[in-house]
Amino acid sequence: MQIIRDTRRSFDLEQFLSKPLVAHLSTLVEEFPRDSPVWFYWKDNEIWIIGTSSDTFPDRVKNNPNCAIGIVDFNPDTGLFLHAGFRGRAKVIPFNKLIANQLLSRYLGPDFEKWDPRFKGLDNSNVLICFEPETVVVRDQSYLTSG
């Protein structure tokens, strides 16, 4: 994986990816791009995403594994604007409850009993997307606020 950094405007990628941020998965259908906001889990230089039976992006990944993922941490009050852009290939793999629970606990908390019921019953009717980045662009685009 090649990481492209502007040394003047960079940040710690591992720390950034440990936050429960929303990623945007870009896939292709024919020649048209599609964007899907997703929760993700970063582990061993791979991005993991849950695909449910109502999602259409797993089929797009099966048909064309070339994907891009953008993740932004933004706060207009402080001027924080961190961006990581990934380009690479994804594959659809069978559902793994351990990985899925690690992913979901980042967003829903460690107490499974407090999770929204929609997330407690995920089973093998779902899949996982394993995205392997080839390049990553890391940029701190933060700005000064007047407040």
- Mean pLDDT score of the chain: 94
DSSP SS3 for 60: helix
**Would 146 be classed as within a structural domain?**
no
**Would 145 be classed as within a structural domain?**
no
**How sure is the predictor about 6, in pLDDT bands with cuts at 50, 70 and 90?**
low
**Would 147 be classed as within a structural domain?**
no
- CATH value at residue 13: 2.30.110.10
Q: How many domains does the chain have?
A: 1
pLDDT in tens, 46-96: 999 999 988 999 999 999 999 999 999 999 999 999 999 999 999 999 999
Give residue 12's Cα distance to chain centre: 16
Q: Please check the confidence at residue 147 and state whether its pLDDT lies above 70.
A: no
pLDDT at position 103: 97
**Would 85 be classed as within a structural domain?**
yes
**Residue tagged 């797993």 (tokens):** 58
Domain range for 43 = 2-140
The stretch 91-108 carries a mean pLDDT of 97
